[in-house]
Amino acid sequence: MSAAHTVVPLGLLHMRRLQRWFSRLRIDPVRQRRRKLTNGDLRKDFRLSRPTLDSLVHRLQGPVDHGWGKAFEVLVFLFWLACGTSYRVVSEAFDIPRTTCHDLVHRVSKGIQQIFRQQIHFPSRDELPEIGAGFQQLAGSPAFGYVAGAIDGCQVRIVPPGAFASDYFNRKLFHSIQFQAICDHEGWCLLGDGGYPCLAQPIHLLTPYREPVRNAVQGRYNAKMSRARCVVERAFGVLKTRWRSIFLKALEVKVEFVSEVIIDCLFLHNLCIGTGDILEPEGEDDNGDGDEVAQECQQQSGDTLRDRLAAAVSAAPAPELRIPVLLEHDYC
């Protein structure tokens, strides 16, 4: 009689390997709190490099750390964020109760909400000249020296909520929550795509001329502006590459938790840049999510401001600027 064979799915084998690894981490909770992870690449399962993970654990570490230990809690949270799967699947991977998995994910998320301004904030006035010089280099024109940042939006898919589902149904015919990446400062301008209005008030928001352009001056302005704006489009591409399960499929959490998850991803995105943990974007697309929204404050057209900038682009020779941080990657 032939021996019986048990067929084990490859996904389950992967879970068991994770279970064995983390069961070793939980042998001694006191020792585990002090232990640094060694050996192996963490990006496959957790989407962060080891230095970034160590930095995150250090930032979240409190004076008193109870229970599983902060390192283990962060790993559970990152695995859930990287996979975008249910708490049940994550709990099986880590061999912990589902309620514990839920609590750990929300606990780490709350911790990030308390410190997110360490990585997400408006630039200070002292930082603006360097930012303006960077946009000069990107655009290849000194006319963009007073640009404080570029703005764009992104639709994050969600499972239709039980109540008020129609409020989350967007013009692209799926349910979502929209967020915008924005950088602004008084007296400086922002760059937006054609989905935004061109404004002089309440902020300076400059957009491209509508195609077809009327003359060569407008054409040169659009070309330079596109080069300057590509930095925000690339940022969205990197964000979606790292957290594919969050931004490329419906997020299966309560709608109240979605905005918190978005902030978590943006915090980790900026943290990765600070530690040199860079992922090249894959399959970048045009977000085109700048839906028009009702404004409570009075708007003033920015056409005159845009015309002046367009004239400056055609009049000014391109400077030889070399900003070190912008030389590390090809943004266009």
Asked if residue 40 is part of any domain, the answer here is: yes
Cβ neighbours of residue 112 closer than 8 Å, sequence gap 6 or more: 60, 263, 264, 267, 268
Q: What angle do CA 163, 255, 273 make, to 5 degrees?
A: 160
Q: Are residues 305 and 207 in the same domain?
A: yes
Q: Domain of 85? A: 10-118
For residue 189, how many C-alpha atoms fall within 13 Å in the half-sphere facing its CB?
23
Asked if residue 2 is part of any domain, the answer here is: no
Place 317 in a pLDDT band, splitting at 50, 70 and 90: low
Task: List alpha helices for 26-169, DSSP H.
Answer: 29-34, 43-46, 50-60, 70-83, 87-94, 98-115, 128-139
Q: Are residues 101 and 183 in the same domain?
A: no
Asked if residue 4 is part of any domain, the answer here is: no
Structural domain ending residue among the three candidates 118, 147, 168: 118
Asked if residue 69 is part of any domain, the answer here is: yes
Structural domain ending residue among the three candidates 103, 118, 133: 118
pTM, whole model, 2 decimals?
A: 0.76
pLDDT digits (tens, 9 = 90+) for 238-297: 899 999 989 988 888 999 999 999 999 999 999 998 999 988 877 645 444 544 443 444
Q: Are residues 321 and 184 in the same domain?
A: yes
Q: Are residues 218 and 303 in the same domain?
A: yes
Cβ neighbours of residue 63 closer than 8 Å, sequence gap 6 or more: none
Instruction: Say what the pLDDT of residue 39 is.
Output: 47
Q: Are residues 171 and 307 in the same domain?
A: yes
Structural domain ending residue among the three candidates 90, 118, 146: 118
Q: Are residues 197 and 79 in the same domain?
A: no
Alpha-carbon distances, residue 297 vs 71, 191, 202, 293, 304 (angstroms): 46, 20, 7, 12, 20
DSSP secondary structure of 239-263: HHHHTHHHHSS-B-S-HHHHHHHHH
Q: Are residues 215 and 295 in the same domain?
A: yes
Asked if residue 5 is part of any domain, the answer here is: no
Asked if residue 3 is part of any domain, the answer here is: no
Q: Are residues 94 and 134 in the same domain?
A: no
Asked if residue 17 is part of any domain, the answer here is: yes
Q: How many domains does the chain have?
A: 2
Cβ neighbours of residue 108 closer than 8 Å, sequence gap 6 or more: 60, 73, 74, 76, 77
Q: Are residues 227 and 303 in the same domain?
A: yes
Instruction: Say what the pLDDT of residue 177 is.
Output: 93
